[in-house]
Amino acid sequence: MHFHRDRGFTHAKASEITPRVDYEGRREWLKLIGTGVAGAALAAWAQRDALAQAGKLPSVRSTVAGANVMDKPTSLVDAASYNNFYEFGTGKADPAQNAHTLKTRPWTVAVEGEVKKPKVYDIDELLKLSPLEDRVYRLRCVEGWSMVVPWVGYSLAELIRRAEPTGNAKFVQFVTLADPKQMPGLGSRSLDWPYVEGLRMDEAMHPLALLTFGLYGEVLPNQNGAPVRMVVPWKYGFKSAKSIVKIRFVDKQPPTSWEKAAANEYGFYSNVNPNVDHPRWSQATERRIGEDGIFAKKRPTLMFNGYEAQVGRLYAGMDLKKYY
């Protein structure tokens, strides 16, 4: 295993982290039982062999500014068993228990709209479009919890450049899979399916906006958005669309699923901002998953989830309380 040194800290490459079977171990299992989420752990545990057989993703450590935070990573068990993915249920444990029905091969992603080179990519072709990178990102949920996850992917900008957007392309829209045969949660009326998200073009082109294929050096588990998802680390987690089937370039701000469901709670921009409360709770602090002990303190929420130095300029002059 190779180690890298940053700012006095030594850590391993994400692509060379101990294999999942060894990493999760008995202590993680006992921890989950003790915290009352053994049911979700069982679901994650049952996928060990399948994920291991899928193989690792060859990748290199990213050199993009801000791409590797120094926070302690969330355990893989927690990252794979505590999820929001309403297509498989609204409970945090539901995706790990239900997402085994998702078939990730064959899979295609259509790039379309205001581009000179529209194309339908096979997922394996998309994987090879640019070298994969290891990036350790914070991910914060609007519900007030956060994780730190080693992701594998490449900047969405790599795909955008190949598509050659026209001058009319002002926004990028992401459309996710909506198949009732594979996704039992589509029977609910919690959202208008398919799940749709969007970014302004300059946001989508920012090098931290990650087209993501894996975590912890391995392919994405189904419940984490396999086979391809977005991770936009300075925004709330619901902006990072999972199981993407279409990427559209459009001239007008696209309506998004959570905006349509509750526009007063979920604005288009959805940047992490501790100074703008959700209508039903404060955003000033957060609970880091894995720090759930009885004496664990909540963390103060960081502006733009701690990525202000990298992305703050995108919003210069904007009223971030109005454009929440």
**What is the token pair recorded at 267?**
């604005």
Alpha-carbon distance of 44 to 36, in angstroms, equals 15
Q: Is domain 3-139+151-259 classified as CATH 1.20.140.10? A: no
Which DSSP helix (H) or strand (E) runs through 285?
Answer: strand 285-288
pLDDT tens for 89-123 read 999 999 999 999 999 999 999 999 999 999 999 99
Total-model pTM: 0.85
Q: How many CA atoms lie within 13 A of 312 on its CB side?
A: 9
166 backbone dihedrals φ, ψ, rounded to 5°: -80, 175
Burial (0-12, 13-18, 19+ Cβ within 10 Å), 205:
middle
| Predicted confidence band of residue 45 (pLDDT cuts 50, 70, 90) | very low
Among left, alpha and beta (phi > 0; psi -120 to 50; other), residue 270 is left
pLDDT higher than threshold 50 for residue 74: yes
pLDDT higher than threshold 60 for residue 40: no
Q: Report in angstroms the alpha-carbon separations of 214 from 40, 156, 200.
A: 20, 14, 24
- Rounded to 5°, angle at Cα 225 from 188 and 287: 85
Q: Which residue has the higher pLDDT, 18 or 90?
A: 90
Question: Considering all CA atoms of the chain, what is the largest pairwise distance in Å, rounded to the nearest integer?
Answer: 56
Quote the pLDDT of residue 294: 66
Per the omega criterion (within 30 degrees of 0), is the bond before 131 cis? no
Per the omega criterion (within 30 degrees of 0), is the bond before 165 cis? no
pLDDT tens for 159-215 read 999 999 999 999 999 999 999 999 999 998 889 999 999 999 999 999 999 999 999
**DSSP bridge pairs for 68:** 136
| Average pLDDT of every residue of the chain | 87
Stretch 236-254: mean pLDDT: 98
**Cβ–Cβ < 8 Å for 242, 176:** yes
Closest by CA position to 143, among listed 278, 315, 269, 35? 278
Quote the pLDDT of residue 295: 73
pLDDT tens for 274-305 read 999 999 999 999 999 998 776 778 999 999 99
38-46 helix and 20-34 helix, angle to the nearest 10 degrees: 160
